[in-house]
A and B are shown apart, each in its own frame.
Chain A
Amino acid sequence: MKFLALIKDTFRECLGKKILISYFLISTLGILTMMFVVNIKITGANAVISTLIGNKNENLGLPELTNSIVFAESMFARALYSIGIFLSIFATVDLMPGLMKKGRLDLYLARPLSRPLFLLGKFTGAVAVASVNIIYAMAGFWLVLGIKTHVWNFSFLYSMVVIIFMFAVLYTIMMLISILAKNTAVAIIVIYMVMTLETALGTSKSLFSMISNTLLKHALEILYWILPKHHEVASITQDIAGGKSIESWTPLLSSFLTALIVMNIAVFLFSKKDL
């Protein structure tokens, strides 16, 4: 009950700050755009006239159309991964530092509520808020594409689980920074720095072997394994949405372990810290 009250409180905060409505409007705008951009006419068993994001294809066969749609959806999934996480971070980054303000946290923690439960409740609340919006956007896109093309690619829907997962992983870092720095600006700088650094390390991983300095090489490798695999999980999201088999689940597993460790550190510090 206390846990649910914390989740409800986070939703109310997002409603009050007009975060949910902004999310909803941005997603709706995207869905409506999709509705007008995609234009498919099936004229016969194999004859199809389609306009998909500006590319006009006439007399396209139905199997080819299906492949095009699934490919387009996998690209959408990757784009939504980046946009969804960017927007979700932006929308939720102030939730924890906002709580740390004088007199506000006292009113929560003066209740018969353990600090780990409080932190987990607030974490779940933020992830739930992001999930609602990611689900709305992705289900909306999927529905529009399905109605327009008659291609119902369920893999596209599965990919949203990965997007929500990655947001949750990054949010653990935001929580830790908020506890340490009690500052929204610092939290947002650190999280975007982590994402940028991981993308740089992830894309240039193959170059590590060319580094002659052993210390630097190991340091970069360790850093690569410590950071959540934002860049590689984006590729996994795209593959899932495209119905492809996944070569390696390691980036997901590694990110999960990072989140677990970061969350534990956050809970430990929050429990021990004078607030």
Chain B
Amino acid sequence: MEANKKILECTGVTKVFRTGFHGRVHALNNVNLTVNSGEIFGLLGPNGAGKTTLIRILLGLIYPGSGSVRLFDTDVKDHRIRSKVGYLPENPGFPPYLNGRQIMELYGSLAGIDSDVCTQKTDELLTMLNMDKHAGRKVTTYSKGMIQRLGLAQTLIHDPDIIFLDEPTDGVDPIGRRDIREVLLNLRKAGKTIFLNSHLLSEIEMVSDSVAIMDKGRIVASGNLDDLNGDSSHYSICCPNMKTEHLEALQKEDVVSAIEDDILDVAVDSLEQLNRVIDVLRDEGLLIKSVTPQKQSLESYFVDLIKDIREEEGNA
């Protein structure tokens, strides 16, 4: 598949749920979203932000009140488009009377794949997700982590181009999480697009190329991960044996924002200025151990953003 081609386009989507006779909940409010092929797209937001509703609309499982969703340039209402889509819901309700292998076989058949291909893919995927030894067991005997791994396997049974994962690592132990992360990265390498909804911000940060942050049914921020949490003007310079007097030479540059132990935090206007700072430190006879660009973690960006929104709402 052509890289960076727009494959998912969501325009002006709103959704209102009725609660009782008169109650209404605005779950989504004018949501606009674009996902390109071959990327891992992370969807973030506090509980009740409308993330799962959005995913279910993107898959055609529920219908928007207004707006449109196009997948691979086809209206998502056309069920045939789902041959290119894999989906793992937040709480996958696998048929309790089936074992792991039978579940793969069922969803493979429903996706319309040949039974021989299905058997072969089942073996491959169950082995890849370390579920081959448990394939003959009923899903009711599975742990949460095993359910999630089987869930991931079933999304891939028909070799989809885009995969929607709603909290895929929920309940999975750290080793299992790492395995799932590796699978996601390998899928991206294979040209697949992944739409990832997770409340684990660090996880999204580790794998996503771009993200969107939702709050109260709206997209409040979106873009490339580096654009959101990166600030290329801040650096940490590690100089062992640094003393306060060494910093006097830097007064002219007026860049020092903090100093702690051997770490000097600087805010520069350009790479040239950063190099000038390094030159000054070296002229002072200091040895530079490392220069690290400072990045705001996605978590702190997210927390700050939501806090600002809440404050604005409070002021209004």
Contacts and interface: CB of A to CB of B under 8 A. Distances in A.
Interface of A: 1-2, 4-6, 8-9, 12-13, 15-17, 101-115, 272, 274-275
B287 interface: no
A275 B106 CA distance: 20
A2 B110 CA distance: 5
Contacts of A272: 63
B183 interface: no
Contacts of A9: 95, 106
Contacts of A111: 82, 107, 110-112
A94 B79 CA distance: 26
Interface string B50-63: 00000010011111
A104 B93 contact: yes
- The winner among A16, A104, A106, A115 for most chain B CB atoms within 10 A is A106
Given A9-B95, A110-B87, A114-B79, A275 B61 contact: yes
A11 B236 CA distance: 65
- The winner among A5, A17, A104, A107 for most chain B CB atoms within 10 A is A107
A112 B111 contact: yes
B62 A107 contact: no
Interface stretch (B96-104, B241-249, B259-267): B96-104
Contacts of B62: 274-275
Interface in B65-111: 79-83, 85-87, 89-98, 102, 106-107, 109-111
A17 B61 contact: no
Interface residues of B, number: 32
Nearest to B17: A274
Contact of A113 (B59, B79, B91): B79
A112 B106 contact: no
Given A2-B110, A103-B92, A107-B93, 15 more contacts: A9-B95, A13-B95, A15-B97, A16-B95, A103-B90, A103-B93, A105-B93, A106-B56, A106-B89, A107-B94, A109-B60, A110-B61, A110-B87, A112-B81, A272-B63
B61 A106 contact: yes
A98 to B, nearest CB: 9
Nearest to B151: A107
Interface string B133-158: 00000000000000000000010000
Contacts of B109: 1-2, 4-5, 8
A186 B309 CA distance: 45
A102 B91 contact: yes
A12 B102 contact: yes
Nearest to A274: B62
Nearest to A106: B89
A115 B110 CA distance: 12
Interface in B260-312: none
For the complex of A and B, list the 8 residue pairs with the smallest distance between their C-beta atoms, beginning with the closest.
A16-B97, A104-B93, A103-B93, A5-B109, A274-B62, A110-B87, A112-B83, A111-B110
13 contacts: A2-B109, A102-B91, A102-B93, A103-B90, A103-B93, A106-B59, A106-B89, A110-B86, A110-B87, A110-B89, A111-B107, A112-B79, A275-B61
Contact of B93 (A8, A101, A114, A275): A101
A114 B82 CA distance: 10
B89 A112 contact: no
A4 B80 CA distance: 18
A261 B267 CA distance: 73
Given A1-B109, A111-B110, A112-B80, A16 B96 contact: yes
Given A113-B79, A274-B62, A107 B89 contact: yes
A23 to B, nearest CB: 16
A4 B89 CA distance: 25
B78 to A, nearest CB: 9
Contacts of A13: 95, 97
B94 to A, nearest CB: 7
A17 B97 contact: yes
Contacts of B102: 12
Nearest to B98: A12
Contacts of B107: 107, 111
Contacts of B93: 101-107
Nearest to A12: B97
B79 A108 contact: no
Contacts of B89: 103, 106-107, 110
